[in-house]
Structure 1
């Protein structure tokens, strides 16, 4: 029997994330994340460099409400840290294990994700994104973010081969590759994660809407066995509609899976990697955390 801690004393739990990226001086960007649920609310802000270093130059955290231990010094100590492999562990060590610490770690992860949405290429190069040619944007992507190749189907050789074979649409714009000086909210993202208990079932929902993505995923589980009974989603906006669309059907491979401690590790081959979708993987992995006892 799955008995999520977040459902103690209530039938439904919801968490929202509001995040945005502003231009900052030189080669830096400023990222802000507000993470809220019924019990606590925080705002984490970090000024970081872009790809390939993803280095934090300044970081701060404000408690807006609820039960959150003092983590200001720990977050400030992240100055100089790089938001690459091992970053989650580094943040966890910095903030300790006091009240709301895991909440703060989750906010830091969202900052790291925002840092991968805006680049700082020369403006004349970024203007290629205004051409209306999706391949121009794809090539800018792989120039601006060195960690993209094979991170998902779209940036694999198989994804690249689809250009020129079908209509491909992209919402990418020059400002995402080269923000205007002092530009505010270059990139804006909102996520809602929800867990509901209903007649012996657990319904997980996770949405993400931003400049280039639109995801709404739903998983229905049998509460007694943890078996996934239903897995579906809608994607009204994708970076490359016609290519990113291909791996979305892989969500169906989760039907029949058991939401046990090993499912997170099994997600990679099922919906992630060079044949999957990085956003679908992240949204699924994150919402599964709500099942923790």
Structure 2
């Protein structure tokens, strides 16, 4: 295939995007999710007050331009998201509210990151959340499926096959009570940092995406041969996983990416390779986000 440079690489040899996100327990029934997202051209901060699972409904939103050109209508549009649920259709609703002005794509991506943060914290009764205090993986898994209604079959860990592994091997978890029932007014209940990089290296395009937070550690690397447009390197490190011993199982699926052609259909094909009830939702998201940067 004929390879063409991604828009973010035109006129440069490398591109980087950095995300910092955190969750504050600011309301009795809602959280404040904040994301700062920056790249080589601009930076934004988006904060959303939203209800927890199952609705993930936005109560209030605001956006600040931190650097570069961000159209005023894009900034103002975030405030019009009140009442929007951060579920299927969110991308369309954000696009309608913010328009297509300068920086709209970065603001949309920040809100997607906020939707992901919202699925990392819950508001269960404190006495129930305390079951996670001893690091009992089975207790935490049950709290997960109670606190987040959209988890069942979202990945291997929350499938029947994943559940069946409890009691058959050692399973370790970093989950803690505050993720299920944070203290009143608690700041930075959950924190996440991500770095995405694209760079040309000796006839290849190297893609890197890392994510580190309270319960995850991912560092994903792909390399694309520029002559053929095929993925010739696909590997990652996972120093931290929610359930070490279960979440480790689907990580080997990254090898299915080797030899894939990077074309317009790859984002759909990776659902079968990396996602669904046999895959890993985080590995899928990190890969999908890199492919989006290639457009």
TM class, shorter-length: over 0.9
Q: Could you say which residue in structure 2 is the equivalent of 1:8?
A: 10
How far has the Cα of 1:154 moved from its partner? Answer: 0.1
How far has the Cα of 1:225 moved from its partner? Answer: 2.3
Deviations 1:173-219 (A, max 9, x none): 00000000000000000000000011211000000000000000000
Give the 5 Å matches for 1:271-286. Answer: 271-286=274-289
Matched, 1:203 2:206: yes
Q: Could you say which residue in structure 1 is the equivalent of 2:140?
A: 137
Paired with 1:224 and 1:34, the residues of 2 have a C-alpha distance of 36
Paired with 1:65 and 1:246, the residues of 2 have a C-alpha distance of 41
Paired with 1:281 and 1:16, the residues of 2 have a C-alpha distance of 18
Q: Could you say which residue in structure 1 is the equivalent of 2:42?
A: 40
How far has the Cα of 1:88 moved from its partner? Answer: 0.9
Matched, 1:223 2:226: yes
Moved more, 173-182 or 86-95: 86-95
Matched, 1:172 2:161: no
Is the Cα–Cα contact under 8 Å of residues 2 and 291 in structure 1 kept in the other structure? no
Give 5+ residue unaligned stretches, structure 2.
none
Matched, 1:236 2:239: yes
Give the 5 Å matches for 1:78-227. Answer: 78-227=81-230
Paired with 1:138 and 1:196, the residues of 2 have a C-alpha distance of 39
Paired with 1:283 and 1:7, the residues of 2 have a C-alpha distance of 19
Q: Could you say which residue in structure 1 is the equivalent of 2:52?
A: 50
3-state SS, counterpart of residue 85 of structure 1: coil
Q: Could you say which residue in structure 1 is the equivalent of 2:270?
A: 267
Paired with 1:161 and 1:65, the residues of 2 have a C-alpha distance of 49
The alignment of Structure 1 onto Structure 2 pairs a total of residues equal to: 292
Which 4+ stretches in 1 moved above 2 angstroms?
none
Paired with 1:182 and 1:223, the residues of 2 have a C-alpha distance of 50
Deviations 1:232-266 (A, max 9, x none): 00000000000000000000000000110100000
How far has the Cα of 1:67 moved from its partner? Answer: 1.3
3-state SS, counterpart of residue 63 of structure 2: strand
3-state SS, counterpart of residue 127 of structure 1: helix
1:65 counterpart (47, 64, 67): 67
Deviations 1:74-110 (A, max 9, x none): 1111000000000011101111111111111000000
Give 5+ residue unaligned stretches, structure 1.
none
How far has the Cα of 1:153 moved from its partner? Answer: 0.1
3-state SS, counterpart of residue 289 of structure 2: helix
Is the Cα–Cα contact under 8 Å of residues 28 and 184 in structure 2 kept in the other structure? no
How far has the Cα of 1:2 moved from its partner? Answer: 2.8
Paired with 1:139 and 1:251, the residues of 2 have a C-alpha distance of 27
TM-score scaled by length of structure 1: 0.99
Paired with 2:245 and 2:21, the residues of 1 have a C-alpha distance of 27
3-state SS, counterpart of residue 277 of structure 2: helix
Paired with 2:26 and 2:277, the residues of 1 have a C-alpha distance of 32
Is the Cα–Cα contact under 8 Å of residues 229 and 261 in structure 2 kept in the other structure? yes
Paired with 2:130 and 2:62, the residues of 1 have a C-alpha distance of 33
Is the Cα–Cα contact under 8 Å of residues 135 and 174 in structure 2 kept in the other structure? no
Is the Cα–Cα contact under 8 Å of residues 2 and 225 in structure 1 kept in the other structure? no
